[in-house]
């Protein structure tokens, strides 16, 4: 399986990460981000969390800072749109994202999957595609009770130690989530192993994305 590299060591890469909730980006793409930083890519990250109030706001910022340690530059932006009601607040969220677009010009956007069962996640996906029409968009996946994982078509292999670091940071920073029966090492490692098998990753682990549109030069 031949790969298409986003960037090589020493090159610059700008990424916009969009997550509905405080742990979404880390679960869906944390290993990818840690791998890019470890590869010595000059990574510029704009990290947006749309719903994180109170304790979850502090969690979101602390976790983002930990995942982005070593990046060339980063900006963390946390909003407080009402959890569970994004379709009702679609107009306001769109304007918020349009303001981001006026300030950020990413090479790649990481966002939620189109067919995610969570209404907030689906709304973020639709608005990402609506606001950012001329960008490479990778849709990440979030395991959950709904059983809504789809067939991805893009993979980022991750090393075993990177996966362990991702899992460690998730458990370290999201105390509000640890009571959920799916929020554990077995879930995150099991999904990464499955995706690693699908793409025959060298160290057997990977994160998977849906790539809907790409321009090949």
Per-residue tokens: 62: 């602390």
Q: Which residues contact 131 (CB under 8 A, 6 or more apart)?
A: 94, 97, 98, 101
Tell me the residue ranges of DSSP E strands in 22-146.
Answer: 42-51, 73-78, 108-112, 136-140
Q: Which of 2-16, 66-80, 120-134 has the lowest mean pLDDT?
A: 2-16
What are the two backbone dihedrals, phi and then psi, of residue 50, each rounded to the nearest 5 degrees?
Answer: -90, -25
Q: Which residues contact 103 (CB under 8 A, 6 or more apart)?
A: none
Q: Where are the domains of the chain?
A: 15-211
Tens of pLDDT, residue by residue over 41-76, are: 899 999 999 999 888 899 999 999 999 999 999 999
> If you average pLDDT over residues 91-104, what whole number do you get?
98
For residue 217, is pLDDT > 80?
Answer: no
Residue 59 has a pLDDT of: 92
Task: Kindly indicate the confidence band of residue 7, based on its pLDDT and cuts at 50, 70 and 90.
Answer: confident
Nearest to 139 by CA among 151, 125, 119: 125
Write down the pTM of the prediction.
Answer: 0.95
Tens of pLDDT, residue by residue over 150-178, are: 899 999 999 999 999 999 999 999 977 87
For residue 1, is pLDDT > 70?
Answer: no
Provide CATH code, domain 15-211: 3.40.50.10320
Tell me the residue ranges of DSSP E strands in 22-88.
Answer: 42-51, 73-78
Dist CA 183 CA 193 (whole Å): 16
């Amino acid at each position: 399986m031949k790969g298409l590299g986003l960037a090589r060591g020493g090159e610059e890469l700008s990424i916009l990460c969009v997550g509905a909730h405080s742990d979404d980006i880390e679960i869906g793409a944390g290993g990818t981000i840690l791998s890019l930083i470890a590869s010595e890519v000059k990574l510029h990250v704009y990290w947006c969390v749309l719903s994180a109030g109170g304790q979850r706001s502090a969690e979101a910022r602390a976790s983002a800072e930990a995942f982005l340690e070593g990046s060339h530059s980063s900006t963390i932006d946390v909003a407080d749109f009402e959890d569970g009601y994004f379709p009702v607040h679609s107009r306001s969220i769109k304007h918020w994202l349009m303001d981001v677009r006026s300030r950020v010009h990413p090479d790649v956007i990481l966002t939620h999957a189109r067919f995610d069962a969570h209404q907030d996640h689906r709304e973020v996906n639709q608005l990402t595609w609506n606001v950012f029409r001329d960008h490479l968009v990778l849709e990440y996946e979030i395991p959950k009770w709904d059983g809504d994982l789809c067939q991805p078509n893009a993979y980022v292999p991750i090393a075993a130690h990177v996966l362990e670091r991702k899992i460690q940071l998730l458990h370290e920073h999201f105390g509000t989530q640890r009571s959920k029966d799916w929020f554990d090492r077995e879930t995150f490692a099991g999904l990464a192993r499955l995706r690693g098998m699908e793409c025959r990753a060298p160290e057997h682990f990977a994160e998977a994305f849906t790539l809907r549109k790409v321009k090949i030069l």
